[in-house]
Structure 1
Amino acid sequence: MRYAKGYLIRDQVNSPEFFAYTGFLMSFPWEWFVTLAFPIEENAGPVKTKMRRLWFTRKLCTVERIQVGYFYVEAAQGNFSHIHMLMLGRRIRYGFTKTLDLVSRSFWESFWKHQTKVEKPVSISSLATYCVAHIHNPKYDWVDDGFYNLKLLKKCKMGSFK
């Protein structure tokens, strides 16, 4: 992927960058796929969307006492903006490992006041493709993507946590 003045220049969906990014995302043991939507009348721009994403994940970390790492895609078309996150979580204490698999998805769905979905991934490859396709989709007015907590993600990717 290429950037110009801080904005993503969207390549073709069948580009080598698309397949490389998808393959990279497939190398993580994602535990949750989260979609957070904003109501159309709210018209959440990039700054508000980022603040809401950080608010949600920080609440998750503090309430569940767990570290999370994730890949996110924030996208907007007209007044409708939404966030997709591929998430994993870890906490090791007294020899016990807590992951997001042990956290209530329904509680965190109800925690977000707007439309939301928290799912356990069935196919990581299809979710990775779906998220990367959002980045390359020309119908969106703006798209932002990135990672949160790279230190945890690197440990999990390399298999440091069992």
Structure 2
Amino acid sequence: MNRPRTVQAPCGPPAGDTPAAPDAPTPASANPAPARKPKRKKPRHSMPEDWAPRPDVRDQMADECPGVDQDAELRSFRDWAMAEGKTSTDWNLNYRRWIRNEAKWNRNRPGGDTRRGMTPAECLAGIPTSTDTPRRVTSTQLPAFPTDMEILR
């Protein structure tokens, strides 16, 4: 059971061959991809106090979201951006998102109308009301919540 012995070739190029010249083409996988220039980002700016959307943006949003009070939402948008210290590369884009979200959230509310003009108790109780004549809810109209002693029992 004598098997013939195999001899492995030594590492490196075969005898008599010289390594490839440095200017010779090498396979593409051997060279890493050339470094790309980093993309220059647009500068971000905080919102100016007197900022307003461009007229074309306002008209677009009026057509797209007719049920949204843009004047009230503009005040809310400005307050939010300034209170949170937000910065943006395009305030008109953010305004469009704000109005579209308001229209989407507004659709999910009972009656499809905003709940402005309601007291917090009415919002919690889910009692619909007209925005021009908000009514107060008495404690007898609110759902009963268990007291601490009832929870511990």
Give TM-score, length-normalised by structure 1: 0.20
Higher relative contact order (CA 8 A, sep 6+): 1
